[in-house]
Amino acid sequence: MARTLAEKIIARAAGQDAVTPGDIVTCAVDLAMMHDSGGPRRVAPILESLQAKVWDAGKIVVASDHYVPAVDAESAAILDLTRKWVADNGIPNFYDMQGICHVVVPEHGHLLPGMFVVGGDSHSPTGGAFGCFMFGVGATEMAGVLVTGETWIKVPETILVRWGGRLGRGLSAKDIMLFLCHRLGMGGAEYRVVQYAGDAVEGLPMAERMTLCNMAAELGAQTGIIAPDAVTADHIRTNGGDPGDVASWQGDADATFHAVHDFDAGTLAPQVAAPHSPANAAAVGDYENVAVNQAYIGACTGAKAVDLCMAAAVLKGNRVAAGVRLLVAPASTRTTAEAAADGTLATLTEAGAILMPSGCGACAGYGAGVLAENEACIASTARNFKGRMGAPSADVYLASPYTVAASAIRGRISDPRDFLEGRAP
């Protein structure tokens, strides 16, 4: 029977030869990921009430990223609890204040093709960029995983999204995803897998593939996934992992999909999503001249090394407009180090950007960078729900790092191609 990549991974985890969409199966979990917000402080009381211990400390990864660095006593207490729980349970893979979990985990080679992975965060589908099946769960389900090493799943159908052609200058995976949020809708892939394919996707570096899978969550998907290839294998080896035989983790050519969508990346314009939903996306020209008080480059979706380089390409030789705050929160400390080494940070700060600590920060409404009443912000984050980044009356527009940087220069939402093509601001 022809199977999709997701179905093959689930069948392997369930110990079955094959599974069919709609089947309910119990799967062995290869890796469980948690962070300080939804992790130990939520699951510890459950495990204590059950008098249970974790099933395999070596298969658990914990990152502190939401409350770092602590800005008040409550944040400090949450981090203290996280650190003590990790120590008490002998968790060897703890990444404390090293960056956002979705970026830090693959930085250390934990995600491999064919793995079945759960994460205690809604953007856990990021891991699908590495050819694994990774999805988010709540604290109660995570507690069950921690004790048994298993979880159940209703086998989802797969939607194939193919992007042909090649992205133009000044465009990125973020533009693809904002376009899809508008075209398919926020629930357009509800409880399904979104598999990305096509020449444009195959031509993307891993960091950009991570953005595609990350924002499958905004489509309501169970997860996003990309079939592993040589790019995947090289990235995993570089980060200390063993990718194995990537050719063994491919979907069958004649597999059945719930739907197939074909798009041409070469025709895509830079996208901007207006408040208060990523589905409110349109070409940047529809929102040009909207004034902004703040430009924010951060989050798991928009502050990896490649994202900082996008912003730097626009900002080089330019300055942030007077009265506009450009905040840059690199997705990990490794990202910060790389950006410092290659001159990217210098370009950003010389243009007037303010460097922030690595972590979820203002994206999730934590720590520095949140918005005041009636302020407007353009951000490289994944979500712009009302009140998410601060005051409920604030407006958040979503865009790629290219577009965020261009908007910071002009003080209003702007097309990044104006700068990249050498035209004056």
Lowest mean pLDDT: which of 264-268, 314-318, 418-422? Answer: 418-422
* Residue 368 confidence class, pLDDT cut points 50, 70, 90: confident
* Residue 10 confidence class, pLDDT cut points 50, 70, 90: very high
Dump pLDDT digits (tens) for 147-161: 999 999 999 999 999
The answer to whether 355 and 361 have CB atoms below 8 angstroms apart is no
Question: Mean pLDDT across the stretch 256-264?
Answer: 97
> What are the chain's domains?
5-264 (3.30.499.10), 272-420 (3.30.499.10)
The answer to whether 210 and 304 have CB atoms below 8 angstroms apart is yes
Is 70 exceeded by the pLDDT of residue 393?
yes
Enclosing H/E stretch for 150: strand 150-154
Question: Mean pLDDT across the stretch 104-114?
Answer: 97
Please report the pLDDT score of residue 45 as a whole number: 97
pTM for the structure as a whole: 0.96
Dump pLDDT digits (tens) for 42-67: 999 999 999 999 999 999 999 999 99
Q: Which residues contact 192 (CB under 8 A, 6 or more apart)?
A: 156, 157, 158, 159, 221, 222, 258
Residue 222 gets the label, from left (phi > 0), alpha (psi -120 to 50) or beta, of: alpha
Is 60 exceeded by the pLDDT of residue 397?
yes
Name the percent of the chain lying above pLDDT 90.
97
Burial of 418 from C-beta contacts in 10 A (0-12 / 13-18 / 19+): middle
Is 80 exceeded by the pLDDT of residue 421?
no
Dump pLDDT digits (tens) for 14-38: 999 999 999 999 999 999 999 999 9
Is 50 exceeded by the pLDDT of residue 344?
yes
Please report the pLDDT score of residue 422 as a whole number: 59
Buried b (16+ CB within 10 A) or exposed e, 110-141: bbbbbbbbbbbbbbbbbbbbbbbbbbbbebee
Buried b (16+ CB within 10 A) or exposed e, 225-237: bbbbbebbbebbe
* Residue 240 confidence class, pLDDT cut points 50, 70, 90: very high
SS3 275: coil
Please report the pLDDT score of residue 424 as a whole number: 40
CA distance 246 to 318: 43
53 token code pair: 């211990």
Report the DSSP pairing between strands 395-398 and 376-379.
parallel
